[in-house]
Amino acid sequence: MLGQGVVLVTDHPSRSAVHAEALRSLTPCTVAGPEVEWSAHAGVAAVVADLDLNRTAAMQCLLALRRQPWAGALPVLCLMVRGSDRALRQAHLLGAAACLPFYTEPHVVVTAVLNLVDPDQGGLNATIRRCAARAAGALGDLFHAAAQAGRLDLAAVDRSVDPLLESLREGGLARWLNTLRAHDDVTYRHCLVVAGLAAQFAAHVRFPLAQQRRLVRAALVHDVGKARIPRSLLLKRGALDATETAVMRSHVELGHAILRASPDADAAMLDAARHHHERLDGSGYPDGLSGEAISDVARFIAICDVYAALTERRPFRPAMTPGEAMATLAGMGRQLEPGFVQAFGRAILGSV
């Protein structure tokens, strides 16, 4: 039970119904419109706002909440209709402690509320959240530097690797993934998910610690080329047309160039950034490599990358379950290394 429950304020009640139902499995949940009288809800544990913040009524609703004398430390989770940098900044200015897309799975919303309400419950959970936040912050800085200067200072990535590995060892993969699902930025979250999967994979096959670090370091920056892809394209809902697909695919070459210009980028990083979309049968990009021309690092990261993408919910499709995602990986035949796929399945399915 969380205090006196949760208020779900929404301008789209039919869309919010599934979230209200999920929250009620945890605590009493009051559903209200933007005209809610906040003074009647003093003492609630949290607010979930499923609002279009471009609407004046929605902004006024959250500003009215902030004016309540009891609302200073109240956690507010915003379910976002728009995911642009500007929209996220606006949400945080209006008091949001965290933001998720409006199409987020209900159980993830419940997990996010629990994380916000009691961030120190169980020292391990707090440690994992701090690690994820630190790593996401480092990636945010890196992506900004990549977009502005075309090169990276990789010291921040190095500082994230050992805490990430420790978090996985102590808390397990499922806890790491659940924590990441409450993170704002899809691109950073994807890199952190891939890094967590790579860490789990490497530990399962008993890689030496130095090799685990090398693989996780590469996973964290494998998509850094997306820093130079227009954000409107990264956030587009629905399928890309041929021109957009070509632009999106250029992220592998852009990432490789950024890392080549960066001090301390090792061969694994360069390989992962350029070749994580290559396929053993030659059907991948950008170089159409096949068979033995594709390194083990690229093969590992490719499997983690595909699995992460399949299990992430998008506006145009639901997330696959772990079992469904593994079946899809297995069905890709000779595109991916079959032995690695089998080992990955054994590492992952017992942990999520």
**Which of 117, 137, 157 is the endpoint of a domain?**
117
Same domain? For 111 and 136 the reply is: no
Question: How far is the C-alpha of 131 from the C-alpha of 137, rounded, in Å?
Answer: 10
Task: Kindly state the average pLDDT of the residues 262-283.
Answer: 96
Instruction: Look at residue 19 and tell me if it is in a domain.
Output: yes
Same domain? For 71 and 208 the reply is: no
Q: What percent of the chain has pLDDT over 70?
A: 93
Same domain? For 158 and 95 the reply is: no
Give per-residue pLDDT as tens, 31-83: 999 999 999 999 899 999 999 999 999 999 999 999 999 998 899 999 988 77
Same domain? For 217 and 270 the reply is: yes
Same domain? For 27 and 171 the reply is: no
Positions of E strands within 71-201: 76-80, 98-101
Instruction: Look at residue 337 and tell me if it is in a domain.
Output: yes
Could you tell me the residue range of the domain that residue 283 belongs to? 123-349
Question: How far is the C-alpha of 268 from the C-alpha of 222, rounded, in Å?
Answer: 10
How many angstroms from the chain centroid is the CA of residue 252?
A: 19
CATH number at residue 54: 3.40.50.2300
Question: How far is the C-alpha of 180 from the C-alpha of 129, rounded, in Å?
Answer: 8
**Which of 73, 89, 117 is the endpoint of a domain?**
117
Question: How far is the C-alpha of 348 from the C-alpha of 320, rounded, in Å?
Answer: 14
Instruction: Look at residue 1 and tell me if it is in a domain.
Output: no
Identity of the residue numbered 322: P
Same domain? For 139 and 245 the reply is: yes
Instruction: Look at residue 12 and tell me if it is in a domain.
Output: yes
Give per-residue pLDDT as tens, 253-271: 999 999 999 988 999 999 9
pLDDT at 182: 59
Same domain? For 182 and 85 the reply is: no
Largest CA distance in the chain: 66
**Which of 117, 142, 158 is the endpoint of a domain?**
117
Looking at mean pLDDT, say which of 70-79, 83-92, 232-241 comes out highest. Answer: 70-79
What is the count of structural domains for the chain? 2
Q: What share of the chain is helix, strand, coil (3-state, %, to 5)?
A: 60, 10, 35
Confidence grade of residue 124 (pLDDT, cut at 50, 70, 90): low
Instruction: Look at residue 311 and tell me if it is in a domain.
Output: yes
Residues 6+ apart with CB under 8 A from 44: 3, 4, 5, 6, 7, 30, 74
